[in-house]
Amino acid sequence: MKPLNTDVLIVGAGPAGLALANTLARAGVRFLVLDRLAQGQNTSRAAVLHAHTLEMLEPLGVCVRLEAAGLKLAKFSIRDRARALVSLCFDALPSRYAGILMVPQNVTEEILADALVAAGGKVGRGWMVESVIDLGDRVRAIAARGAERRAIDARYVVGADGMHSVVRHTAGIGFSGHRYDESFVLADVEMQWSHGRDEVKLYFSPAGLVVVAPLPAGTFRIVATLADAPEFPGEQSSRRSSTREVRNMAVPRFRRSYGVRGSASTTASPTAIAAAGSCLLETRRMSIAPQGAKA
Ligand SMILES: Cc1cc2nc3c(=O)[nH]c(=O)nc-3n(C[C@H](O)[C@H](O)[C@H](O)COP(=O)(O)OP(=O)(O)OC[C@H]3O[C@@H](n4cnc5c(N)ncnc54)[C@H](O)[C@@H]3O)c2cc1C
Least confident of 75-89, 90-104, 270-284: 270-284
Which three-class secondary structure state does DSSP give residue 139?
strand
What is the domain class of 4-47+104-171 according to CATH? alpha beta
The greatest distance separating any two alpha carbons of the chain, rounded to the nearest whole angstrom, comes to 70
Pocket probe mutation, ligand 1, options 161, 164, 212, 215, max atoms within 8 Å of Cβ: 161
Cα dihedral angle (57, 59, 61, 63), rounded to 10 degrees? 40
Nearest CA, atom 35, ligand 1:
12
**pLDDT tens for each residue of 96-139:** 999 999 999 999 999 999 999 999 999 999 999 999 999 999 99
- The reported pLDDT for the residue numbered 72 is 98
What would the mean pLDDT of 35-59 be, rounded to a whole number?
Answer: 95
What would the mean pLDDT of 36-49 be, rounded to a whole number?
Answer: 92
Nearest CA, atom 22, ligand 1:
162
Least confident of 4-13, 144-153, 169-178, 286-295: 286-295
Q: Report the nearest atom of ligand 1 relative to the CA of 166.
A: 41
Bigger pLDDT: 246 vs 21: 21
Residue 262 pLDDT class (50, 70, 90 cuts) = very low
Residue 261 pLDDT class (50, 70, 90 cuts) = very low
- The reported pLDDT for the residue numbered 160 is 98
Task: Tell me the Ramachandran region of residue 58: left when phi exceeds 0, alpha when psi lies from -120 to 50, beta otherwise.
Answer: alpha
Pocket probe mutation, ligand 1, options 36, 101, 188, max atoms within 8 Å of Cβ: 36
What average pLDDT is seen over the chain?
87
15 lines ligand 1 (CB under 6 A): yes
Nearest CA, atom 44, ligand 1:
35
Distance from residue 14's CA to the centre of ligand 1 (Å)? 6
